[in-house]
A and B are shown apart, each in its own frame.
Chain A
C-alpha cells in the first residue's frame, strides 16, 4: 500500500497538470468529469489506505530528495499516520463531493478549465500539506493552497472587487505564512532537521526557544485559519464561487491551521503560555465571529463569519490540549459547513445570484431538498442536542475547556458563542425559508443529480458522524479519541458531576439560541435592526483599522521613500554630481583651455608660420641648387664620419 501513497496527492496534481497543458484538447463537456475523476482516484486511494491498514500502522513513502545541502536533506516524502488519515479522509472526501457538485453548479461558466485546474491543484496542495513528513514540504502545500485560494476567490476577476478580495486573502495569509517560515528557520537552526519524526522527540526536551517558535507557528495558523487578528480576509473571500467557499474556505484550507498545531503539539506543550494563548484567541474569535454573523445580510458572509467562529472552537480545543476533539470538530464542521455552503450556493444559483437573505426570502427560491439540507446543516451548526454531529463535537470541547487554566472564563465565552450560533444561523434559516409573503419564484423541479447527491450525502454525514464519539461520562462509544490516543493525547475532562452540568448547560444554550432567533427575525421583519448593527456588520471595523494602521502607512512609506530617498537623495545627489562636473568642466574650459592651452597653441601656430616663410624661400624649384645642397650635405656627412675626431 505504501507504494501507492503518492497517488493521493499525485492524482489531482496530474489532473491539474493535464488540464493546464492539454485542457484545450479535451472536449469542454468532459473536462469537469475528468477533474472529478482525478479527485475520485485520490478519494479511492484513501479508502484503499483505510482497508490497507493505515488505521493501525503509519504508511510512509519517500519520493525523492528535494534539496540536499550540507548533509541536510529534506525530501518529498509522505507519512500517513492517524492524524493525517483523518485529514486526508476529510479533504479527499469533501473535495470529491464538491468536485461533483461543481459539475452542475459551474455548468454555464465560461472558463471552466481555469476553475478545474485550480480546484485540482488545490486538492493536491492540501493533500501534500497533510501528508508531508517534514515541515518544508508542509510549507510547500501550505503556500500552494494559498495560491489556489487566491486564484479561486478571484475567479470572476473582471469584477475588481473580487480580484482585490483574492489579493487581500493572499496577502494577509502570507503574513501568517512568513511567521511560519521564520518558525521553520528557527527549528532548523536549532535541530538541523525539519522532519517530524526526528523533530518532535527532540522537541520534548527542555528548550527555551520553544515559546518563540510556538508563538510563530501560532501566528502562521492564525493567518490560514482566519482567527483574530488575521481574520479579515475570510469574509471577503466569499467573492469566490460557492463550491470554492465550501471546499477551501470552510471545510479544508482554513482548518489547516488546526492541523498544523495538532501536528506540532509537543512544541506547544513546552510553552504552556502560548498554548493558553491559543485557547484565548479561540474563545475571542468564537464570540467575534458569532457576533459579526448576527448582523450580516449576505448569506455567504454569515457562513464565513460562522466559519471563523467555529474554527475558534477548534483552537479552543487545541489550547486545552484536547487535540483529538479539535480534529473531531474539524471533521464534523467540514461536513455541516460544506453542506450549508453548498445549499446556500444552490439557493443563490436558482435566485440568479442574489446574496441578500431578505430578498432570498422574498424570492423563496429554494426547493424542499435544499431547505431540508440547509436545516440539517443549521441544526448541526447550532448543535441541536442528541441527533446532530455538531452537538457531539462542540459539547466535548466545552467540557474540556473547563479544566484549562482560567477555564471558567473560557467556558463562559464558548458557551456565549454557542448561544449566538443558534441565533444567527436560525435567523438566516427563518428569514430565507419561512417568509410569510407569497413566493415570487416557484421552486424548481428536481435538483440535478450532481448537486443533489453531494448535498444528501453531506446531510447524512452531518447527522451521523457525531456518533463516533459520545459525550464524556455517557455509556456510548469513544471510538474517535481512543483511536487517536496513540498520537494525540486524551483530553482531560472535569469530574463527573461538573461534566454533566456543563453538558446540560451547553445543550440548553443551543436550544435557547434557536428559540431567540424567532423574536429576532420578527423584529427584523418589523424593520428594526440590531444595536451596533454597522459595527458588527463591518466585522468590528477591523478593515478600517488595518487600513489606517498598516496599509496606508505602508503605501505612504513607499511613496515617501520614492520621493525623498530615491528622487531627493540619490537622484538629486547624482544630479548634483553631474552639475558639479559641468561647473568644473566650464571652469576648466575658461581657465585652462582658453588661458593656457589656447594661448600656447596660438603661439605655436604663429611660430610655425614664421618658420614656414623662412624655409619656403629655400624651395625655389631650381634643380641645380638642390643638387648643390645634396652634394654639400653628403660631403659634410662624409667628412663627419671620416675626419671628426669622435665621430664614426
Chain B
C-alpha cells in the first residue's frame, strides 16, 4: 500500500515538471508534451485520492481525463500541423496574431 502522500507527491512533481516545460520551452510540440505531463499529474492525483477514500470515482475521472486528453491532442496536433503549413512556425513566439494594434505585421 503506497501512502497517499507519496502518490500525491509524485503527481505534484509531474504537474510541476509539465508546467515548467510549458513555461520554459518555445517549440509547439514540447508545449503539447508539457501539457500531457500536467494532465498525467492530475490523473495520478485523482487515482490516488480514489484509492485513499476507497472509491471508484478517482479511476473514473482518470479514464475520462485520458479520453479528453486524447481528443484534445488530436485537435491540437492538427492545429500545430496547420500552423506549420501556413506560417512555417514551429516556435510559439512566431504566432503573435493576437498582439494588440499590430495585426498588419503578422508572421
The interface of chain A, by Cβ under 8 A from chain B, is 616-617, 619-624, 627-628, 631
Contacts and interface: CB of A to CB of B under 8 A. Distances in A.
A329 B62 CA distance: 126
A32 to B, nearest CB: 99
Given A619-B100, A621-B98, A631 B19 contact: yes
Contact of B96 (A616, A620, A628): A620
Contacts of A628: 23
Contacts of A623: 31, 92-93, 95
Given A620-B100, A631-B23, 9 more contacts: A617-B100, A619-B100, A621-B97, A621-B100, A622-B96, A622-B99, A623-B31, A623-B93, A627-B22
Contacts of B52: none
B100 A622 contact: no
Interface string B21-45: 0110010000100000000000000
Nearest to B101: A616
A621 B26 contact: no
Nearest to B106: A621
A621 B99 contact: yes
B26 A624 contact: yes
A59 to B, nearest CB: 106
**Residue with the highest number of chain A CB atoms closer than 10 Å, among B19, B100, B101:** B100
Contacts of B102: 621
B12 to A, nearest CB: 12
Nearest to A619: B100
A111 B2 CA distance: 121
B25 to A, nearest CB: 8
Interface residues of B, number: 15
Contacts of A619: 98-100
A619 B97 CA distance: 11
B86 to A, nearest CB: 16
Contacts of A624: 22-23, 26, 92-93
Contacts of A620: 96, 99-100
14 contacts: A617-B100, A621-B95, A621-B96, A621-B99, A622-B92, A622-B93, A622-B99, A623-B31, A623-B93, A624-B23, A624-B26, A624-B92, A624-B93, A631-B23
Interface of B: 19, 22-23, 26, 31, 92-93, 95-102
Contacts of B96: 620-622
Contacts of A627: 22-23
A103 B97 CA distance: 106
B8 to A, nearest CB: 15
A617 B102 CA distance: 11
Contacts of A631: 19, 23
A622 to B, nearest CB: 6
Nearest to A624: B92
Contacts of B92: 622-624
B84 to A, nearest CB: 15
A423 to B, nearest CB: 119
A620 B96 CA distance: 7
B11 to A, nearest CB: 15
Contacts of B26: 624
A75 B92 CA distance: 104
A170 to B, nearest CB: 88
B89 to A, nearest CB: 11
Contacts of A617: 100
Contacts of B98: 619, 621
Nearest to B28: A623
Contacts of A616: 100-101
A617 B101 CA distance: 9
Nearest to A634: B19
A584 B98 CA distance: 51
Contacts of B93: 622-624
A619 B98 CA distance: 8
A619 B23 CA distance: 17
Please give me the 10 A-B residue pairs with the lowest Cβ-Cβ distance, nearest first: A621-B99, A621-B96, A619-B100, A621-B98, A616-B100, A623-B92, A620-B99, A627-B22, A627-B23, A628-B23
A616 B93 CA distance: 18
A156 B96 CA distance: 99
A616 B99 CA distance: 9
Contacts of B95: 621, 623
Nearest to A635: B19
